């Protein structure tokens, strides 16, 4: 008996990094397992891994050598990792992939929560954007939406779960290593672009630290998801959140939506 062929996607490893963004995402949709080279913490690869996470795929980050592991952030370094710089590493990586695919109990992936239509999540309040949070919070709460942010000590798994559930995700980018998690979260939301029985379009608003004109921290693969992602100036954040709240209210007041609510 011959084993069934296995569909896999490799982010930033063997060839996939040169494919068009939409082509990579299509390959991830068809794959059962996704391996991403996180040596150097490429924002593009982290977005692809987040996209796979959002689709409930098996994700296996990989580094060149084990000496690269300490440089990874905690939220990524605690996952099942592989390395590929030598034959032993390649064999171990392939064995790990095989174990994931053959034995469902080997290492169950964390399943992302379902999108919540009324949830706005802003994971990173920083010195340069904190002043506008109260305004955004007031707008959201007035229209019946809940906005969440997190303290510095919040566990990454909580951030992953709540941000992955957001109908509106606000990501702050400043060129630091924390941008990696933001790109992963963008991928998780982009993988499932609607909420509420598939009828409310989710949105990602990306804001960047002022003073870096001519340089953007947002990965091209994220920027090209223009149907769900908007890179905006912080001065426009209040207006954009207000527009999303209006869209949520139109969705909530839709007669078809009301029938769905009564059935559930």
**Could you tell me where the beta strands, DSSP code E, fall in the chain?**
8-11, 33-37, 58-63, 82-83, 116-121, 146-148, 166-173, 194-195, 200-201, 203-208, 229-231
pTM exceeds 0.85: yes
CATH number of 201's domain: 3.40.50.2300
Q: What is the DSSP letter of 112?
A: P
Per DSSP, the residues of 131-181 read GGHHHHHHHHHHTT-EEE---TT--HHHHHHHHHTEEEEEEEE-SSTTHHH
Whether residue 111 is contained in a domain is answered as no
Whether residue 1 is contained in a domain is answered as no
Average pLDDT, the chain: 86
State the Cα–Cα distance between residues 13 and 18, nearest whole angstrom.
Answer: 10
Higher pLDDT: 128 or 32? It is 128
Higher pLDDT: 77 or 102? It is 102
Q: What is the pLDDT of residue 174?
A: 96
State the Cα–Cα distance between residues 112 and 101, nearest whole angstrom.
Answer: 19
Residue where a domain terminates, one of 41, 74, 102: 102
Q: Quick one: 71 and 131 in the same domain?
A: no
Residue where a domain terminates, one of 102, 130, 146: 102
Number of structural domains the chain divides into:
2
Q: Quick one: 92 and 129 in the same domain?
A: no
Whether residue 251 is contained in a domain is answered as yes
Q: Quick one: 85 and 121 in the same domain?
A: no
Would you give the distance in Å from CA 207 to the centre of its chain?
16
Whether residue 110 is contained in a domain is answered as no
13, exposed or middle or buried, with CB in 10 Å at 0-12, 13-18, 19+? middle
What is the arrangement of strands in the sheet containing 8-11, beginning at the earlier edge strand? 8-11, 33-37, 58-63, 82-83
Would you give the distance in Å from CA 36 to the centre of its chain?
14
Q: Quick one: 197 and 245 in the same domain?
A: yes
Higher pLDDT: 209 or 261? It is 209
Q: Quick one: 129 and 247 in the same domain?
A: yes
Per-residue pLDDT reduced to its tens digit, 113-163: 889 999 999 999 999 999 999 999 999 999 999 999 998 889 888 999 999
Q: Residue 264 above 90 pLDDT?
A: no
Per-residue pLDDT reduced to its tens digit, 43-73: 999 999 999 999 988 888 999 988 888 888 8
Q: Which of 130, 195, 133 lies closest to 164 in space, CA to CA?
A: 195
Q: What is the pLDDT of residue 242?
A: 97
Cβ atoms 20, 28 nearer than 8 A: no
Q: Quick one: 193 and 221 in the same domain?
A: yes
Q: Quick one: 12 and 52 in the same domain?
A: yes
Q: Quick one: 57 and 146 in the same domain?
A: no
Cβ atoms 190, 169 nearer than 8 A: no
Whether residue 109 is contained in a domain is answered as no
* Four-CA torsion 85, 91, 92, 95, nearest 10 degrees: 150
Whether residue 212 is contained in a domain is answered as yes
Q: Quick one: 91 and 136 in the same domain?
A: no
Residue where a domain terminates, one of 53, 79, 102: 102
Residue appearing with tokens 């019946």: 144
Q: Quick one: 124 and 18 in the same domain?
A: no
Q: Quick one: 186 and 231 in the same domain?
A: yes
For range 97-108, the mean pLDDT: 76
Per-residue pLDDT reduced to its tens digit, 190-248: 999 999 877 899 999 999 999 988 889 999 999 999 999 999 999 999 999 999 999 99
**Domain boundaries, position 136:** 116-263
Whether residue 108 is contained in a domain is answered as no
| R_g of the chain, CA atoms, integer Å | 19
**Between β-strands 194-195 and 200-201, what pairing exists: parallel, antiparallel or unpaired?**
antiparallel
Cβ atoms 259, 198 nearer than 8 A: no
Q: Quick one: 16 and 54 in the same domain?
A: yes
């Amino acid at each position: 008996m011959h084993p069934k062929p296995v569909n896999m996607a490799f982010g930033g490893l063997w060839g996939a990094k040169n494919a068009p963004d939409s082509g990579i995402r299509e390959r991830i949709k068809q794959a059962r397992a996704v391996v991403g080279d996180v040596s150097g913490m490429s924002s593009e690869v982290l977005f692809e891994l987040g996209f796979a996470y959002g689709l409930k795929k098996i994700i296996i980050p990989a580094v060149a050598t084990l000496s690269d592991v300490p440089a990874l952030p905690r939220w990524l370094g605690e996952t099942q990792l592989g390395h590929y710089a030598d034959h032993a590493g390649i064999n171990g990586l392939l064995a790990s992939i095989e174990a994931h695919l053959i034995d469902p109990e080997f290492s169950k992936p964390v399943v992302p929560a379902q999108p919540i239509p009324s949830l706005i999540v802003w994971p990173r309040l920083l010195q340069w954007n904190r002043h506008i949070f109260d305004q955004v919070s007031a707008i959201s709460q007035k229209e019946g939406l809940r906005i969440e942010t997190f303290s510095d000590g919040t566990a990454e798994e909580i951030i992953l779960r709540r941000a992955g559930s957001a109908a509106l995700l606000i990501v702050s980018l400043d060129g630091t290593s924390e941008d990696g998690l933001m790109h992963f979260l963008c991928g998780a939301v982009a993988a499932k672009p609607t909420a509420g029985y598939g009828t409310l379009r989710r949105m990602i608003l990306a804001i960047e630290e002022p003073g870096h004109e001519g340089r953007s921290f947002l990965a091209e693969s994220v920027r090209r998801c223009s149907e769900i992602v908007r890179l905006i100036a912080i001065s426009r954040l209040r207006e954009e959140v207000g527009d999303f709240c209006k869209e949520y209210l139109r969705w909530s007041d839709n007669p078809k939506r009301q029938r769905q609510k009564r059935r559930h």
